[in-house]
Each structure stands twice: as structure tokens, then as C-alpha cells.
Amino acid sequence: MKRRHFLTGFSAAAAGTGRVFGAECGCLPLAAAAQGGAAPGLATSWPAPRIKVTNLKVLGVSLTRDSDRPYVFVKIETDQGVVGWGEATLEGKAGATMAAVNDFREFLIGHNPMQVEHHWQSMYVHTFYRAGPVLGSAISGIDQALWDIRGKVLGLPVYKLLGGPVNPRGVRGYYHARASTKEELARLRASAQQLGITCFKSGIPGYYEWIETHRSIRRAVDHMTRLREGLGPDIDIGIDFHAKTSPSVATILCKEVEPLHLLFIEEPCPPENVKAMARISRRTTTPIATGERLIASFSCRELIEMGVVDILQPDINHVGGITALWKVGAMAEASDISMAPHACEGPIGGLATLHVDAATPNFLVQEICSGVTPEMKEKVWEEWLGFPAMRMVDGYFPLPQKPGLGFELTEQALAKYPFGGTRPMARVFHADGSVAEW
Amino acid sequence: MPAVITDLTAQGVREPVSRREYVLVEVRTDSGLTGVGEGAAQPDAATVVAALQEQRKTLAGRDPTAYEMVRPALPAARAALNMALLDITGQLARAPVYEVLGGPTRFKARAATTLVDASSLETARAAGFRALLAPVEPPAWRNSGQAWVRGVRRRLEELRRAAGDEVDFILDCGGSLTPGDAQMLAREVESFHLLWLEEPCPTVNLQAAAKISQESATPVGFGRGARSNAEFQDLLRLDAIDVLRPDIGLHGISQIRKAAALAETYYVAVAPFHRGGPVATAAALHLAASLPNFFLQEAPWPAAEADRRMRAEIVSGAPETVRDGYFLLPTAPGLGVHLNAEAVRRYRV
């Protein structure tokens, strides 16, 4: 039986036998019970939607022809002329994500875009396999586009629907520290003071084997020490290990840099094994942050419950959009864990995440993968949207003021950057030829 | 222009027969829109009214849509303001509150109420309820043993005979049993297939409370006594519950949405309750229609006609309409209920 059958036809099946038959596997869903009659002012069945989804489009956008991370944008059109935009960018897997978005067409077309939680649940639960980066990113893009439509129909920016703003000044953010020498760091510190930037993030140099040499450890520690010395005591510094390190190496590094009082160390090891990360976390006072590869709120439960993390960093383009990012924030709040969402893809996800940040009481700081000086991609974003998206003013991202996600975008604007196809991300290897994490 | 809060009024009301009390708040804005909310009379109506009035200055001039940041210390006051601000947000957006929050996730909400006496089985059934809380008679002594356990089971069997198969029961222990009695009872009534065993023992010793669900297949509900989401979190982490039981009159819509987000990752459902009036029921229905993991809403259904009349009189609309076991959802903007000032005055505490 096709999926369409029990979505649109379940009441007919229920009226007959109360059960949907017709397949050999015996693993089909039971039909829902039939519904009662009507009463004035009260709903007895799904009310006739005042707005319907008419089309779902997925657009691949490559800023350069050989980009390994083309943006995947989702556009949802409605019969009321309102359109919603979302982002489903999954680095290195654009083709798979675009196909996954398209697989959800029949979940949405003809349906009420206002019911975002219902659609989220249906996409996640009825997919059966639930979490995963491709599905998570596809759901994320659709979820953001539905929230954009919802806000536009309801006449409010999304952060107001979520009860914000927590801080009317906007959303505190950080850029990446594109500096490593003493001189570069001194210049960066000066521009930070001038621009009101209060936080930076950096990585650590090189790739790391399972166990590391004294020299390699010294190099990483020196890098982090230089950052602290160069930026001074008043700027917060996060260091992204990017899961390049094993728990053994990460533990040594986290302990070595305790005196630097970093804001956090991010992804000290890969994300699948919570106990391994717990082992690192238990052995150091340096706060641990993780989450950019986690999908749906379910994936954060164990990290919170086991007291592994101090800061969670889900990415709105993978975790399941606004709906899922808000839920992670709600869970984290009960445990006094801070939120510092990841943002390293396009401008739509970036702007969407600001709305959730603005309504999250336990919000700490928002990433944007860029430097104090705008880069080529940000010039393109401004060309698309008409304003300097994801650029801070006095250390804060300004809150969007318009209803929905707060921007206008056209397909024509994107057409200058056609999809150049999917390309794998960087592949790096150790000296002996074995696979290294980057 | 965005609306700005100008003032609020709060007052306690009391049902004539049950003597049940709750506190109603009305938040006014310069746009002419008014939001209503309700808080539980905890610790008592006067304290909640005072806590709400204390917020008048703080709230004046603020944007009513920033509901997440209005958090007075007293839970009932916070809950009432949360409902009122969401009511205004919904009216500004010209949409039911559940739509503001991303719903509806359902078009009706399973309903339950408490049996108050022998005759109320028929009253509640006639009113449309198909799920009922049956209060358990507390044992005369601690650890009462077989005679008491069998007595409870007999009473349940009588209830089921009287009610037929279409009515389901929640056995409400009101936190009155010792963990030992509760464990024995939970095991003894397994084959009865209760919806769940409600608040079997006090939650002073969480490990003992958790042992109840470790020793039986009867689903267990806890949470009535909780005052924060951290307490719900503890119950979930200990695998102590199958049903989370927050009071909407203490936690409001937003905090329960957050507790529900937490519960969802434990595959646990939320079945909110309240001991208040029709505004709380309306708020609860919007909450229900915004949640993926809602199971049931418990609300009072007074046995006395005079009490039921009061509930109908103090608000416009009919938020407490039950049909075939389900509350019907409001469809008007905001919470969809407005206070009838004259009637509220008549029932003032």
C-alpha cells in the first residue's frame, strides 16, 4: 500500500473494518477511529485550512562552481500567495538532502502549513527510521519554511510567536578568529574592541592520531595559549576540536588549557558515544560543548542526563529546524545547560536560528562561520536579501522585525549561482595513509 | 503598532457548593485587547491575587508577546500571566493559541474528571466523559496488606461492572499510600488495565517512588506536587513515570510545553490536570492541541448544578464541552474565552 492511501483514506477504511488491510507484511498501521459531529465554535474534525500548501521546491545553490557545500534551500508556496523559505543544507550531501526534501512533497501539498508540529511529527515518525542527518536536514528545511509562512500569516516575527525577545538588544554572537600569530591577534583584538565583539572561536592546528606525541600536544596548547594572550582576558574564547581528537588526546588538551578559562571546548571527540565524551568531561573543568551533528531532541537526552555537556550547539539546518531547536533549548533549560547553536551554512538557517535564540532564556551565544571582515559569501547574502544578514552590530545580531523569518528572497536572485552538483567534503589522511578526522 | 500592556486586574472566585477557589487575571493593553488567565489558589487565592497585583508596574509598557520573560516567583501567578499573555498574542495574530504555538496537533483532546461520589459515575458519563479518576480509599494503617489491597480491587471491579467497557479508569491514590502499599497495589491491579495509577505515594523519596513502576506493568502517573520542570526531569530520569501530571494552574502553557519536550525524549506522555475553572480548561485545551505527546486532560466536573452554572456564567463560550470522551477544541482567536465581569463579581472570594 502506498503512503498516500492511509493519509487520505483512513476514515473510509476505519468505517469498514476499523483496520487497514491489503499488504502481505502485516505491519501496516491500524486506522484511526471515526469522528463525531459538529458543534458551533468548537472543532470536531480538522478545521478546513484557511491556507494550503500548493508547491514545495528545493533549490541547490553553489556560490562557486566547485563548492563542496552548496546551499539547499526549500521554498513552500501556498494558495494565499504567502511563501516560506527554509534551509536544508547538509555539507557534502546536497543531492541526497534535495531528494529527501522532495520525498516529503505529498506530506505537505494540499495540507495546512500552520500545523508545523503535526507535520514535523509526521515527517519524523512516518519516515520510520527517525533520526539521521539527511532526513534531519530535509525536515529542518521544511520546518523553517513552514515557520516562515506561519509568522507571515500570523503577522509576527517567529521569535514573538515563541515568546521572545529575551534580550531586546538582539542575539549575542561570535565570529571565527581568523588569526594565529601575535600580530594578527593584536589586530583582531583591536577590531573586536572597536566593533563590540565579545567572543571568538578557533580550531586547533593539524590532525591527531589516537594517541599523540609531546610535540603535537605542545603545538595545540601553544595555539590556545597564544589566543588567550593575544585576545586578552575580557574576550570569551571557544575552541573547536571538531572531533579531530580521541578521548585520550582530548582529555590531555582539556586539562592543559584549564588555566586559560575558555568559554568551551567543542566536540572533543566524535558524537556517537556519549560515555566517551563523558569520560573527557569528567576529567576536566573546561566546559564541554557539542551538538552540531545531533538530530532531533532525542539525541540530546543522554548528554544532558549524564551531565556531560555544559553547552549544547545544535544546528537548525540539521537538528529538525525551529521546532527541534526550540525543544532542545527547553530540555537544556531544566538542567541549566546553555545554548550556543552552530551556524555554518547559508543565511536562511542563520536568520532562523536567531529567532529561536531570541526566545531562549538559557541562550549563551550564536555562532556565524565568518570573520570580523565580511567574506565573499556575505556579499552574496546581502545581494540576495538586501541587508547584511548575520553581521553583528555592537556584538549582537539585530533581531529581524518583519513577520515570519523576516526577509524577502526570490528565485531569480539565486539563479546567478546555479547548483554545481554534489561534491565530497575534504578527505584527509595521516602520515601512514590511514583516515584522519578533520 | 505593537500592543503594550497597560494594566491588569486579578481576583479570586469561589464555587458556591464545592467551595473550589481559583484566581482569574485580566491583562489589558493599549490596543484594546484583553487577555485572560487563571492560576490555582495556591497557597491561597489572596496570596496569588497579591502576587499578580505586584506585577502591575513591572508589566506596564511591556510587549505582551514576550510571554517567555514574564516569570513572577509564585507559580500560580506565573501560570495565570502566561495564559493571559498568550491569549493576547493569539488575538493579535487572530489565531487560536494552539496555532500560534505550532498546532493543532489534534482536533479534540481526551478528557477525564474525578468521581466525587457514587452518583457521579452517571453524571460524568452523561456529560460525555469516558475516562474517570476513581479515588482510592486510603488504608487505615500504614502497610495494610491483603485485605485492603483486595478491597481496592473489588471496588474497581464493581466500578467496571457499573460503567461497562467503554469507560476507563485512573486509580487516584492522592499521594496517600506508602511506597510498599503502592507497589503491592500496582501489581494486584495489573490485569485491570487502568489507564494509570495516579500519585500512588508522596514523592519525598524518588527512589522508592520509582520502584513502583519497576515492579509492575501498571502505568504510573506523578507530578502533581512538582513546582518546576527540574522535578519532572528527576521523575523522568529515574524511569519513575509513564504519565507526566503537571497542573496547568501552576505551570501555565509555556512551562508545560517545555516539560513535554523533555518527556517526549523519554517516550512519556503528558496528561495535565487542574483543580480550577473554565479559563484553565480553555488554556489546557490549547496546550493539548500544541503538543505531540499529549494524552489526556483532567478537569473538574462539579457534581452540583450551581457550580456548573457558575463555570458557564463567568466566561463566554463553552470551553468545557465534552463529547464521546473528548473535549472539543476552541476555534476563536486567543484562548477563545472572555470573562463576564458581572458574573465574576458575584462569585468573588
Question: DSSP string of A112-135?
Answer: -TT-HHHHHHHHHHTTSS---HHH
Which residue has cell 463576564? B340
Task: Please enumerate in sequence order all residues whose Cβ is within 8 A of that of B158, keeping only pairs 6 or more positions apart, or say none.
Answer: none
**CB-nearest partner of B100 from A47, A154, A333:** A154
CA-based nearest residue to A5, from A20, A15, A19: A20
Residue B11 in contact with partner chain A when CB distance is under 8 A: no
Cis peptide before A165 (omega within 30 of 0): yes
Q: What is the pLDDT of residues B84-127, one digit of tens each?
A: 999 999 999 999 999 999 999 999 999 999 998 778 899 899 99
Closest chain A residue to B233 measured between Cα atoms?
A334
Q: What is the pLDDT of residues B206-215, one digit of tens each?
A: 999 999 999 9
> Over pLDDT 70: what percentage of chain B?
100
> Is A342 annotated in the active site?
yes
Grid cell in block for residue B279: 479559563
Residue A46 in contact with partner chain B when CB distance is under 8 A: yes
- Within chain B, all domains assigned CATH 3.20.20.120 are found at 108-335
Q: Which of A142-146, A236-240, B114-118, B196-200 has the lowest mean pLDDT?
A: B114-118
The reply to whether residue B107 touches residue A115, judged by beta carbons under 8 angstroms, is no
**CB-nearest partner of A297 from B107, B259, B265:** B265
B89-118 residues touching A, CB cutoff 8 A: 89, 92-95, 99-105, 107-108
Cα separation, A59 vs A410, in Å, equals: 11
Helix/strand/coil for B50:
helix
A32: pLDDT strictly greater than 50: no
Taking one residue from A and the other from B, the number of pairs with CB-CB distance under 8 angstroms is 130
B291: pLDDT strictly greater than 50: yes
A160: pLDDT strictly greater than 90: yes
pLDDT value at residue A424:
86
> Over pLDDT 70: what percentage of chain A?
90
pLDDT value at residue B211:
94
Provide the phi-psi class of A288: left if phi over 0, else alpha when psi is between -120 and 50, else beta.
Answer: beta
pLDDT, mean over chain B: 95
pLDDT value at residue A27:
52
Task: Please enumerate in sequence order all residues whose Cβ is within 8 A of that of A355, keeping only pairs 6 or more positions apart, or say none.
Answer: A147, A157, A158, A159, A162, A164, A322, A400, A405, A406
**CB-nearest partner of B229 from A115, A165, A334:** A334
Q: What is the pLDDT of residues A388-423, one digit of tens each?
A: 999 999 999 999 999 999 999 999 999 999 999 998
Confidence band for A14, pLDDT divided at 50, 70 and 90: very low
**pTM for this prediction:** 0.94
Q: What is the pLDDT of residues A319-332, one digit of tens each?
A: 999 999 999 999 99
pLDDT value at residue B319:
86
pLDDT value at residue A5:
33
Spatial contact of B241 and B222, defined as CB atoms under 8 Å apart: yes
What are the DSSP calls for A166-189, one per residue?
S-TT-EEEEEE----SHHHHHHHH
**Mean pLDDT, residues A265-280 taken together:** 97
Residues from chain B that touch A42, judged by Cβ atoms under 8 A, are 318, 321, 328-331
Q: Does an H or E element contain A312, and which?
A: strand A311-312
Cα separation, A90 vs A152, in Å, equals: 26
Residue-level length of chain B: 349
The reply to whether residue B93 touches residue A161, judged by beta carbons under 8 angstroms, is yes
Residues from chain A that touch B264, judged by Cβ atoms under 8 A, are 297-298, 327
Which of the residues A50, A51, A160 would you substitute to probe the B interface, choosing the one with the greatest number of B C-beta atoms within 10 Å? A160
A20: pLDDT strictly greater than 50: no
Grid cell in block for residue B96: 487560536
Residue A41 in contact with partner chain B when CB distance is under 8 A: yes
Q: Which of A232-236, A241-245, A383-387, B315-319 has the lowest mean pLDDT?
A: B315-319
Closest chain A residue to B105 measured between Cα atoms?
A118
Which of the residues A11, A42, A298 would you substitute to probe the B interface, choosing the one with the greatest number of B C-beta atoms within 10 Å? A42
Residues from chain A that touch B99, judged by Cβ atoms under 8 A, are 114, 150, 154
Helix/strand/coil for A77:
strand
Residue A150 in contact with partner chain B when CB distance is under 8 A: yes
**CB-nearest partner of B99 from A45, A114, A323:** A114
The reply to whether residue B329 touches residue A42, judged by beta carbons under 8 angstroms, is yes
Q: Does an H or E element contain B81, and which?
A: helix B75-93
Nearest CA distance, A130 vs chain B (angstrom): 13
Residues from chain A that touch B323, judged by Cβ atoms under 8 A, are 36, 39, 44
Cα separation, A112 vs A125, in Å, equals: 18
Q: What is the pLDDT of residues A189-236, one digit of tens each?
A: 999 999 999 999 999 999 999 999 999 999 999 999 999 999 999 999
Which residue has cell 464555587? B15
The reply to whether residue A41 touches residue B265, judged by beta carbons under 8 angstroms, is no
Task: Kindly report the backbone phi and psi dihedral angles of residue A428, in degrees, each rounded to the nearest multiple of 5, phi listed first.
Answer: -125, 155
**Mean pLDDT, residues A337-361 taken together:** 98
**CB-nearest partner of A44 from B101, B328, B332:** B328
pLDDT value at residue A17:
35
- Residue predicted with more confidence, B181 or A3: B181
Residues from chain A that touch B1, judged by Cβ atoms under 8 A, are none
Which of the residues B4, B63, B69, B227 would you substitute to probe the A interface, choosing the one with the greatest number of A C-beta atoms within 10 Å? B69
> Over pLDDT 90: what percentage of chain A?
87
pLDDT value at residue B225:
87
A55-84 residues touching B, CB cutoff 8 A: none
Which superfamily does B5-95+340-346 belong to? Answer: Enolase-like, N-terminal domain (3.30.390.10)
CA-based nearest residue to A89, from A264, A277, A308, A316: A316
- Residue predicted with more confidence, A180 or A339: A339
Complex ipTM, two decimals?
Answer: 0.96
**Terminal CA-CA length for chain A:** 44
Residues from chain B that touch A300, judged by Cβ atoms under 8 A, are 265
Nearest CA distance, A430 vs chain B (angstrom): 39
Residues pairing with A429 in the sheet: A435
Residue B261 in contact with partner chain A when CB distance is under 8 A: yes
B286: pLDDT strictly greater than 70: yes
- Within chain B, all domains assigned CATH 3.30.390.10 are found at 5-95+340-346
Confidence band for B1, pLDDT divided at 50, 70 and 90: low
B24: pLDDT strictly greater than 90: yes
Residues from chain B that touch A118, judged by Cβ atoms under 8 A, are 103-105, 292
Closest chain A residue to B68 measured between Cα atoms?
A163
pLDDT value at residue A23:
41
Residues from chain B that touch A161, judged by Cβ atoms under 8 A, are 65, 89, 93, 100-101
| CATH architecture of structural domain B108-335 | Alpha-Beta Barrel (3.20)
Which of the residues A125, A149, A161, A300 would you substitute to probe the B interface, choosing the one with the greatest number of B C-beta atoms within 10 Å? A161
CA-based nearest residue to B22, from B52, B63, B1: B52
Closest chain B residue to A324 measured between Cα atoms?
B261
pLDDT value at residue B101:
98
Task: Please enumerate in sequence order all residues whose Cβ is within 8 A of that of A341, keeping only pairs 6 or more positions apart, or say none.
Answer: A313, A314, A315, A316, A325, A353, A356, A357, A366, A367
Cα separation, A366 vs A65, in Å, equals: 29
B262-321 residues touching A, CB cutoff 8 A: 262, 264-266, 290-292, 317-318, 321
Residue B243 in contact with partner chain A when CB distance is under 8 A: no
Residue A359 in contact with partner chain B when CB distance is under 8 A: yes
Q: What is the pLDDT of residues B33-92, one digit of tens each?
A: 999 999 999 999 999 999 999 999 999 999 999 999 999 999 999 999 999 999 999 999
Q: What is the pLDDT of residues B241-285, one digit of tens each?
A: 999 999 999 999 999 999 999 999 999 999 999 999 999 999 999
Residue B254 in contact with partner chain A when CB distance is under 8 A: yes
pLDDT, mean over chain A: 91
pLDDT value at residue A42:
67
> Is A126 annotated in the active site?
no
Cα separation, A422 vs A318, in Å, equals: 17
The reply to whether residue B108 touches residue A327, judged by beta carbons under 8 angstroms, is no
